[in-house]
Amino acid sequence: MKIVTYNVNGIRAALKKDLIAWIKNENADIVCIQETKSQQEQVPAEIFEELGYQAYWHSAEKKGYSGVLTLSKVSADKVVEGMGMSKYDSEGRVLSTTFGDWTLVNLYLPSSSSGEERHKFKMEFLADFGKWTKKMLKKHKNLIIVGDYNIVRLDIDIHNPTRKDKPPGFRPEERAWIQDFFSKDFRDAYRVIHPDQSDEYSWWSYRAGARKNNKGWRIDYIAVSTSLESKIKKVRHGHEAVHSDHAAIIMEIDL
């Protein structure tokens, strides 16, 4: 099973940059997209159907904002939008699809770059999302959570770990949460395969040639429940995908 996760920073803009050709070439079984910034009716269904994908959407109520989309060549047995918490679900951040004995969660975790109020919201989301995943694991032992977590985990996951200003996504309280997340019920799939790889990032600022100079952050993750850790075969960043300020992540796993 090949699973892709990719924050496209606006799917309509990415489609104009030939996203479909990249998806076709990658030929993954499932493609999880974050930050669609679109409603389902704004994107023709046939562009995905022609590639053999069924499209499962969870858009934000606010147009042009947030949203996740899961494209799958396998029909989901069950699809659930959100976590059952309206203040988060209204922003289109979590979409669960179950396939037989395993469940996939497409996640777009809040950013807090706009100020302290959103940082507070982000920390509330993390606390509630952590509780929600505990409940999910009781129902779904084999759980994969992919997406844009908007948090740097390790020092080797950022090009300048000694910076003192602690910007959003690199704050101690956020990093403590994600370290705890990946040390208990879940494993960071990329680090399972590449435990010490540095200079490998998934997001770059648009400023000052950051991507060209590889001054990036690793903030996009594929989390697998411990029951699936041994089944991971390959994980890589799809640096050839340049439809947004993020890179895609591609995992092959024996399911």
Catalytic annotation on 157?
Answer: no
* pLDDT level of residue 113 (50, 70, 90 thresholds): confident
Task: Say if residues 16 and 44 touch (Cβ distance below 8 Å).
Answer: no
Mean pLDDT for all residues in the chain = 97
Q: What is the pLDDT of residues 139-179, one digit of tens each?
A: 999 999 999 999 999 999 999 999 989 899 999 999 999 99
**Quick one: pLDDT at residue 115?**
85
Partners of residue 222 on adjacent β-strands: 146
Q: What percent of the chain has pLDDT over 70?
A: 100
Q: What is the pLDDT of residues 28-48, one digit of tens each?
A: 999 999 999 999 999 999 999
SS3 42: helix
**Quick one: pLDDT at residue 104?**
98
Partners of residue 57 on adjacent β-strands: 69
Q: Per-residue pLDDT averaged across 7-12, rounded? A: 98
Q: What is the pLDDT of residues 59-110, one digit of tens each?
A: 999 999 999 999 999 999 999 999 999 999 999 999 999 999 999 999 999 9
**Quick one: pLDDT at residue 198?**
95
Q: What percent of the chain has pLDDT over 90?
A: 97
**Quick one: pLDDT at residue 112?**
85
Token pair 């679109």 is found at: 38
% helix, strand, coil for the chain, step of 5: 30, 30, 40
| Residue ranges covered by each domain of the chain | 2-253
- The answer for 98, left when phi > 0, alpha when psi is -120 to 50, beta otherwise, is beta
- CATH for 2-253 (3.30.420.40, 3.60.10.10, 3.40.50.300, 3.50.50.60): 3.60.10.10
pLDDT score of 56 more than 90 = yes
Tell me the C-alpha distance between 43 and 209, whole Å.
31
Name the burial class of residue 91, with classes exposed (0-12), middle (13-18) and buried (19+) by CB atoms within 10 angstroms of its CB.
buried
> Catalytic one among 29, 89, 148, 254?
148
